[in-house]
Structure 1
Amino acid sequence: MSSEISRSMGYIENRPFDEIAVGDHAELVRTLTAADIDAFAAVSGDVNPAHVDAEFAQEDIFHKVIAHGMWGGALISTVLGTQLPGPGTIYLDQTLKFLKPVGVGDTVTVRATVTEKQADKKRVTLDCLCTNGDGKPVITGQAVVIAPDRKIKRPRVVMPDLVMHKRGAGYDRLLNEARKLPTLPTAIVHPCDAASLEAALQTHELGLIEPLLVGPEARIRGAAEEADLDIGALEIFDAPHSHASAERAVALVREGRARALMKGALHTDEIMSAVVAKSTGLRSERRMSHVYVMDVPTYPKPLLITDAAINIAPDLQTKADIVQNAIDLAHAIGIEAPKVALLSAVETITPRLQSTVEAGALCKMADRGQITGGVLDGPLAFDNAISMRAVASKGITSAVAGQADILVAPDLEAGNMIAKQLVYLAGAEAAGLVLGAQVPIILTSRSDDRRTRIASTAIAALFNAPVAR
């Protein structure tokens, strides 16, 4: 390792036995965060609800989430291993007495004081004291260590970033809000496999939808029996095959029986063909588009991405509808004035790159009220749409850059790649809807897990609520 890199990282240095005197001490100060508790639980496997379940903890003896006791013990170990004696220390014994709980936001001071030395075995005894912000003891104890017999000075190792992310947590708020609404009558189109039926039953049990199963009744019942699923309470609308299932489901919407569609075991083209049929479909004045609502572990809020599934090479007017659909969905999930980033490869408008020209035109359309409800900016490259660090490095001044709520891709290929890269490289989850028809359409996939299916349905319920339209 070069000396320049070492200097940039700093050093960690010990105090050998001969340099230690009775009365010497070292300390550190740490404020407990919720992320500290989650990280300790994840590493240790200790998911005692007193530490990780706020609802349970509120009814427990301390009426709040508290730190694991050994979190404080680990801080004592930090002082011994990094300061006094420091690198080369061998832990032999540790006693601990826990006097008071430590809660989120409490600042703990950890102090280790040398009380005894044994020269023959290089042993050092230290009193250990952890106090809270009021100076009151929360942990006391005694440690016995073997101190190093030589000086050690090493470059301080830079640890990897720790990203704490609870899968599905980003969708919990949406689910809780959707469950407050009346159940949404939803036509499940051709649910002839276990995955489709499970999605219908799961969302029904959560009080999100009233499933209307549309398809060949014998096949639906056979799939349910094979998967050991009880669909006895669900209404079935018989249709001979997948095309007929799509047409019957659309008819249920036109009749006012259903207020949403959910894709079952048929191709997307089949359901969308029935939706866009001129005389019998569900067209509206606006062009249909798909919007992902993504929960990205490294992004601090929901991220909407559009269009990654419907419009292959949208023209300017289609893009205007794509943007408006996404803004309307953002409103439905509680984003009052969504920041819309119109993506391209660069930030300057150049005629040789059509996406930059269209981004500029969309911004002007928003200025003149042709697109409403959001704040638009573009063209913006992906990094400058979602990273304040990238924005600062390029000196961009923008109300959207670095903090976008909605990413509008220049075409389907780009949108699809962005969404799938976030899923498979960044661990994101991707719920989504097709909007622009008379009702929202939930395009579930065989690869979607339970959380994604439920989240997509919750989003459909929120979008369909009167306040969202």
Structure 2
Amino acid sequence: MHIENRTFDELKEGDSAELRRLVTADDLLAYANVSGNHNPLHIFDEDGDGDGRPEAMAPGSFIAALVGAVLGNVLPGAGTLYRAQSWVFHARIFADDEIVMRVTVTGKNEQDTTVTLATEVRRVADDALVLSGVAEVLAPRRKVEYDSHDLPGLIVQRHRHFEKFLKKAEPLPALKTAVVCPDEPNALGGALKARAHTLIEPILIGAPDKIAEVARAMGASLDGIEIVEEPLERNAARRAVELVHEGRAQAIMKGHLHTDMLLRPILDKQTGLRMGRRFTHIFVMDVPGYPHPLLVTDAAINIAPDLKTKVDITQNAIDLAISLGMEQPKVGVLSATETVNPDIPSSIDAALLSKMADRGQIIGGLVEGPLAMDNAVDIAAARTKGITSAVAGHADILVAPNLDAGNMLAKQLTYISHAEAAGVVMGARVPVILNSRADDDMSRLASCAVAALHHARINGITG
């Protein structure tokens, strides 16, 4: 925003200015951190008055501070200093309310260059008066111009997309889930937290004494939870597959064992859970500040996928994205370049996948490739490269050229961009919830929510 002030000599009574602002839950979180005011009335997921509902009410001082944005940015503008301010609040503002802040010059004092202004804030939806008052300021004497976009931006590390998944999945019937070897605090704790959120109903498979010992150390109760005794990891994984065949389990969840040990019986050609499509792993990423979830695939199973495998990788990701509420997911097939280069095999695969989608061999989404990472997720980068596409700059799904690239990308988003990652394996008869031992509670909960949402869609279940 270009800012040009109005000096004391330029101001006259009746001059007026206003700004509009959509108040968001992230605004209130940022203000709570900066001000130190952690009143739960102002936090989006807290109940501050005991009525059983979160309020997300904007603090009065925050609304008043927005009046200062008009004074400091527009009228009088840069160089303005407060002398005094009176406020009267007439209504309350909540997250997602749009407001207009307005100031009007009512007087000038030539001797000390003070200016008085009537101030008010109104809610746009119904024109309700929220705040009224009087500001007394020292107006600038010198003309000042600058661009406010030079200021550094702020990103709130809140995982809003996963919060939406949890909210959407919790009303669904709990997903009956075989949890394999939950004999470690993170593994057992994740299953129990998902149960508390009504996402899953766990069946714990492993050594009962070890599971009980972990529960005691955590202070957790196992009352009402079925425990199937299979002390050996390979037998526990095999038993989980049997529970699916018996109709007793609708999903499988990794506990404290290696991924290959879990997947081996699931992949068995005679007794496993194959459905004719390659098993592929999908990270569902919630990146702070990014406008939508980002799916990254394959980052854990297929090491150097050929074109046929990449078709299944792409189709599985589209299917999962649709289950998460994306009507026509946009798929960016990644390479090191956005043009086809015969010396870069991934660029050729990407172009072929794009054409296969055009011919209906991949369905349900828009597939574009090759795309470099920048022009897959950033519209400005796509425009700079002259790429005209519904996918470029807006990708929901990123198909990596190989496991190395996918795994690095997902972990960079997690450890550098502070993303949360839910992990699910697709291609089997049931979702396989695949978490790392380092994953935190939100990642485990989100993985269960993603599996529950996919199971509900493919089986026509509603909450």
Shift, 1:297, TM fit: 2.3
**What TM-score do the two structures reach when normalised by structure 1?**
0.85
Contact 1:15 / 1:83 at 8 angstroms: preserved in 2?
A: no
Aligned to 1:160: 152
Give SS of 2:444's match.
Answer: helix
Deviations 1:251-271 (A, max 9, x none): 222222212111111111211
Q: 2:103 aligns with which of 82, 89, 110?
A: 110
Matched residue of 2:187: which SS?
A: helix
Taking the aligned partners of 1:376 and 1:363, their CA distance within structure 2 comes to 5
CA deviation string 1:102-130 (max 9, x = no partner): 5622323122433545x4xx373624322
Question: Do structure 1's residue 406 and structure 2's residue 401 form an aligned pair?
Answer: no
Aligned equivalents of 2:243 and 2:405: distance in 1?
Answer: 35
From 139, 145, 150, the equivalent of 2:131 is: 139
- Aligned pairs for 1:434-453 within 5 A: 434-453=425-444
Residues 427 and 25 of structure 1: CA distance in aligned 2, closer, same or farther (over 3 Å): farther
Partner of 1:254: 245
Cα deviation 1:63-89 (Å, max 9, x = unaligned): x97643333432443455556666565
1:139 shift after superposition: 3.4
Q: Which has the larger radius of gyration?
A: 1
Which range moves more in the overlay, 259-268 or 248-257? 248-257
In 1, the alpha carbon distance for the partners of 2:251 and 2:378 equals: 36
Deviation at 1:220, TM superposition (A): 1.0
Q: Structure 1 residues 424 and 156 mapped into 2: Cα distance closer, same or farther (>3 Å)?
A: same
Q: 2:115–2:139: 8 Å Cα contact kept in structure 1?
A: no
CA displacement 1:397-446 (0-9 Å, x = unmatched): 22322211211111001111111112222222111201112221111222
Instruction: Report the secondary structure of 1:162's partner residue.
Output: coil
Would you say 1:33 and 2:22 are equivalent positions?
Answer: yes
SS of the residue aligned with 1:324?
helix
**Aligned alpha-carbon RMSD (Å):** 3.2
2:183 counterpart of 1:195: no
SS at match of 1:426: coil
Residue identity opposite 1:161 in structure 2? G
Q: Sort the Cα spacing of 1:364 and 1:113 in 2 relative to 1 into closer, same or farther, 3 A.
A: same
Q: Which consecutive residues of structure 2, in runs of 5 or more, have no partner in the other structure?
A: none
User: SS state of the match for residue 356, structure 1?
Assistant: helix
Mapped pair 1:229 → 2:220: yes
1:39-438 superposed matches below 5 A: 39-46=30-37, 53=44, 67-81=58-72, 90-101=81-92, 104-116=97-109, 119=111, 122=112, 124=114, 126-130=116-120, 132=122, 138-145=130-137, 151=142, 153=144, 155=146, 158-164=150-156, 166-167=158-159, 169-438=160-429
Structure-2 separation of matches of 1:464 and 1:80: 53
Instruction: Tell me by how many angstroms 1:145 deviates.
Output: 4.9
Deviation of 1:281 after TM superposition, in Å, equals: 2.5
SS, match of residue 465 in structure 1: helix
- In 2: Cα distance, 1:349 partner to 1:135 partner: 55
Name whichever of 126-135 and 260-269 sits farther off: 126-135
Per the TM alignment, residue 26 of structure 1 is displaced from its structure 2 partner at its CA by: 5.4
Q: Deviations over 1:162-201 (max 9, x none)?
A: 335632x202232233223222111110111111111111
Q: Per the alignment, do residues 434 and 356 of structure 1 end up closer, same or farther by CA in structure 2, a change over 3 Å counting? A: same
Q: Is the CA contact 2:101–2:119 (under 8 Å) kept in the aligned structure 1?
A: no
Question: Percent identity among equivalent residues?
Answer: 45
* Contact map agreement 2:39 2:48 (CA 8 A) in 1: no
| Aligned with residue 454 of structure 1, among 438, 445, 450 | 445
Q: Report the AA paired with residue 312 of structure 1.
A: I
Measured against aligned partners, the alpha-carbon deviations of 1:120-151 in whole angstroms (never above 9, x if no partner) come to xx373624322546988653434445567x64
Distance change (3 Å), C-alpha of 1:285 and 1:43: same
Determine the C-alpha separation between the residues in 2 that align with 1:89 and 1:108. Answer: 17
Count of matched residue pairs: 451
Q: 1: distance between equivalents of 2:41 and 2:215? A: 40
Bigger CA drift: 438-447 or 96-105? 96-105
